[in-house]
Amino acid sequence: YNKDGQLYKCYKKLIANEHFEPDTTIRPFLFENNYRKFYLGFSNGAIMQFNAGNGSLIKAINENEEDKDGIQTYVYSHTKEITSLFYYHDEDEYNSHNLLLSTSYDSLINVYD
pTM of the model: 0.77
Helix (H, G, I), strand (E, B) or coil at 57: strand
Is the confidence at residue 63, as pLDDT, over 60? Answer: no
Please report the pLDDT score of residue 84 as a whole number.
96
Is residue 36 within 8 Å of residue 53, measured between CB atoms?
A: yes
Instruction: Please report which confidence band the pLDDT of residue 41 belongs to, taking 50, 70 and 90 as the band edges.
Output: very high
Is the confidence at residue 9, as pLDDT, over 90? Answer: no
Please report the pLDDT score of residue 40 as a whole number.
92
Is the confidence at residue 96, as pLDDT, over 90? Answer: no
Q: How far apart are CA 18 and CA 23, in angstroms?
A: 13
